[in-house]
Structure 1
């Protein structure tokens, strides 16, 4: 840990933001855990559970793009507060319906759509608000802390959700209400602390520019164009999408293969717990690594670890061997994510950060549903080896792209992000600011 790292935890606005974002994240983690299980219990039909998940993903993707535009138009902390309040209302309705015994396939689908829509519309504002309350020289450590929080939620969400669900589906809803309420109160306190206008920097940046009629598609295109004109950021975004697809397809293939080999679901659970613990340890180390190692080098190391792990999976089939490979693959993911997302936040103009973040998020989320499809169809049609080789090829492509890109490879450690980003800066047009 660097000597300056404690400064982050003295930043009350960041602590309020983190509390709000953690409450929102816990609510979504619990619901994501509960919905497929409730759907299976109620309908006894895995296809219907898949329909709910697919519809929710589509709604989340579309809403996130819209949310990115809204985050650059409006006061971001106010949107955080409204989004958390909407989460309280939806979770409250779910709790009441569960207590009344009215949960069925249609109601689960409706709640999935509502919560996915709320998350997509309001989450980009929360992510963009971080740029307005955390200084650029501390952004890497803030993102690393966020990664640690996310890893802890991922590791604890399943056991907590399982205990609540075993006692009654309504308890999931009650926990979501409490989590969303904490999120709303913390966001409101943040607005009171820094001023509701603080995260309206996009409006301030636009005030000196000619007013243009608002057009969501044009505004979104401006964000996409700006992102892909930046060789450092565009390459990193594409690399992240490709490695997400290859790594998750490879991991899913290895897990499915262990299950097909006759090992129990409990064994799979322990394997995933081991990899989750490895990611949590990596997340705890991320605040130490991000200020000391160049972001570009961290990305290269992470890409190499992912590629090597999937390569090892071609030859290793035992449950604990697979668990070790998955753990090695995910260990550097938190530091990699923190470094690139922190640099992205520093490099992106405030007037565009909502849209740029939402585009990156959609590309990442869009790759995730394809991974189980690659694993499932690959195992059924070609077998374990060829499916893993295909996943390995995707990882290798991402690694080669990262190594070959000097703008990406040369991104420095946290202290040099502002200066490094300035060499690629372009003026923000009136359309992009509005």
Structure 2
């Protein structure tokens, strides 16, 4: 019988980790909300706002790959603390410049690069640290709780950011600084409580001559090679990338079409609030579902909901009908994400978890910017129905891949993850990287 959920909340190291990660997440949510709006207000040019977003995405993608290598080399809680402290300093500088009236296109672009780079370099260490501090049998419920936290941040981030931005752009910076400071302090307390060194430090090779420029690519290749030799994890990673692309392209197409039909931005906002509420409810249910339903089955059910919603979108054009479809599509996503990410964390050796997580994150993030391009060009060149059919085809491919892959569809519920992963452990892990 699975361990009951309440025991997770008696794990003080996890609570400290969650507080640190939540502070960091709030700061990131506020900045991602505020930057495009500030860019539009300051420059009056949507293209410049797009440039800032695109440059920030590229910076984060590149930094995340390097961050995965760093997370497997260095003491992860130290990196959590350092990354949060650097974010707090950057947010403080942003606040000071905003108060002085010094925010323009170039400074926004600079802060976007800095904060995206810091997030990419240090976030993989925070994610990997969860494996070091949470008992293996609770990883799934920890990931499910994280999904609930993320959904709450996404739902609350817009209203909070809007109120702060209306009162003054500097308040966004101040709130970011407070969130990052909370993240740094709680990460430091976590390090004091559990120790600064990783649990497997005694097994790591002591190659003092190792340096990031000389070995980063080789170490990254080791992580990628290990991941894609695992049929359970590699198929799940590809499926996640394809469904992200198909679902986001489909929902963006439906939303753009509603806007083109003459409905106001306020209607779009309420539509998104409805889907956010559905995801939050799904996230609250995830800790109950993950220990009881196989991760493979959760993935198939979640993909089926996404595929059905995009397919039905061909016939539904009213804003509230579209909102209902999007809500149905995203309802099981928190449980799906928690189950697969939790299984990945259990199945992956500690010495590789930073690189494996970063590769998955980059593939997921890399698909996201393509979705509005598919929706925008599809609507302009082909129209709503063909674009949705193309998006449906992507979702269907992901669903078929998940059903056809026995290693993926047979992943059990949380209690059986470690045993299931053992059958693929004949794949040799790379030599652990040194800790510094």
Same fold (TM over 0.5): yes
Matches within 5 A, 1:62-77: 62-77=62-77
1:294, 1:412 within 8 Å by CA — same for their partners in 2?
yes
Kept in 2: contact 1:352–1:433 (CA 8 A):
no
Unpaired segments ≥5 residues, structure 2: none
- Number of the residue aligned with 1:100: 100
Is 1:225 the counterpart of 2:255? The answer is: no
Q: Is the 8 A contact 1:249 1:391 kept in 2?
A: yes
Task: Check the 8 A contact 1:222/1:431 in 2, yes or no.
Answer: no
Using the TM superposition, give the Cα deviation of residue 432 of structure 1 relative to its aligned residue in structure 2, in angstroms.
6.3
Separation in structure 2 between the aligned mates of residue 222 and residue 403 of structure 1, nearest angstrom: 28
Residue 160 (structure 2) aligns with:
160
| Alpha-carbon contact 2:76-2:126 (below 8 Å) kept | yes
Aligned to 2:276: 276
CA distance in 2, matches of 1:7, 1:210: 39
Give the match for residue 90 of structure 1: 90
Offset, 1:4: 1.7
Given that residues 278 and 327 in structure 2 are in contact (C-alpha distance below 8 angstroms), is that contact kept between their aligned partners in structure 1? Answer: yes
Question: CA–CA distance in 2 between the matches of 1:2 and 1:72?
Answer: 30
Provide the secondary structure at the position in 1 that maps to 2:204: helix
CA distance in 1, matches of 2:163, 2:208: 54
Per-residue deviation, 1:428: 2.0
Question: Which aligned pairs between 1:296-335 and structure 2 lie closer than 5 A?
Answer: 296-335=296-335
Q: Secondary structure at the match of 1:62?
A: helix
In the aligned structure 2, how far is the partner of 1:25 from the partner of 1:179? 8
The answer as to whether partners of 1:278 and 1:328 remain within 8 angstroms in 2 is: yes
Deviation at 1:391, TM superposition (A): 0.2
1:14 partnered with 2:3: no
Alpha-carbon distance between aligned partners in 2 of 1:262 and 1:89, rounded to the nearest angstrom: 43
Q: Does 1:54 align with 2:51?
A: no
Q: Do residues 188 (structure 1) and 188 (structure 2) align?
A: yes
Answer yes or no: is 1:27 the counterpart of 2:27.
Answer: yes
Structure 2 counterpart SS, 1:87: helix
Change (3 A) 1:125 1:18: same
Residue 430 of structure 1 aligns to a residue whose secondary structure is: coil
Aligned counterpart, 2:428: 427
Alpha carbons of structure 1 residues 45 and 210: separation in structure 2 relative to 1, 3 Å: closer
**Cα displacement (A) at 1:430:** 2.5
Give unpaired runs (5+ residues) of structure 1.
none
1:433/1:294 CA distance change after superposition, 3 Å: farther
Query: What whole-Å deviation, never above 9, does each CA across 1:16-74 have from its counterpart, x for those lacking one?
Result: 00000000000000000000000000000000000000000000000000000000000
Given that 2:73 and 2:433 are in contact with CA atoms closer than 8 Å, whether structure 1 keeps it comes out as: no
Judged with a 3 Å threshold, the aligned counterparts in structure 2 of structure 1 residues 2 and 412 are, in CA distance, closer, same or farther, namely closer
Asked whether the 8 Å contact 2:16–2:187 carries over to 1, the reply is: yes
Cα separation, 2, equivalents of 1:342 and 1:157: 25
Cα offset, 1:91, TM superposition: 0.1
2:203 corresponds in structure 1 to 205
1:340 aligns with 2:361: no
Q: For residues 279-301 of structure 1, give each alpha carbon's deviation from its aligned partner in whole angstroms, at most 9, with x where no partner exists.
A: 00000000000000000000000
Cα distance change on mapping 1:342 and 1:136 into 2, 3 Å? same
Question: Match of 1:250, SS?
Answer: helix
CA distance in 2, matches of 1:167, 1:289: 41
Alpha-carbon distance, 1:9 to partner: 0.2
Larger CA deviation: 137-146 vs 1-10: 1-10
CA distance in 2, matches of 1:431, 1:336: 30
- 1:138–1:83 CA distance, 2 compared to 1 (3 A): same
Q: Deviations over 1:88-111 (max 9, x none)?
A: 100000000000000000000000
- Partners of 1:212 and 1:431 within 8 A in 2: no
In the TM superposition, residue 3 of structure 1 has moved relative to its aligned partner by 5.7
Q: Distance in 2 between matches of 1:205 and 1:223?
A: 18
**Distance (whole Å) between structure 1 residues aligned to residue 255 and residue 360 of structure 2:** 27
> Any idea what the Cα deviations from partners look like across 1:282-327, whole Å, max 9, x if unmatched?
0000000000000000000000000000000000000000000000
**How many Å separate the matches in 2 of 1:22 and 1:335?**
19
Find the counterpart in structure 2 of residue 113 from structure 1: 113
Q: Is the CA contact (8 Å cut-off) linking 1:76 and 1:200 kept in structure 2?
A: no
**RMSD (CA atoms):** 1.4
Q: Which residue of 1 aligns with 2:295?
A: 295
Query: Kindly tell me: are residues 211 and 164 of structure 1, through their superposed partners in 2, closer, same or farther at Cα, counting changes over 3 Å?
Result: closer
Match of 2:372 in 1: 372
- Tell me the matched-pair count: 431
Contact 1:218 1:431 survives alignment (8 Å): no
Contact conserved, 2:223 with 2:430, CA < 8 A, in 1? no
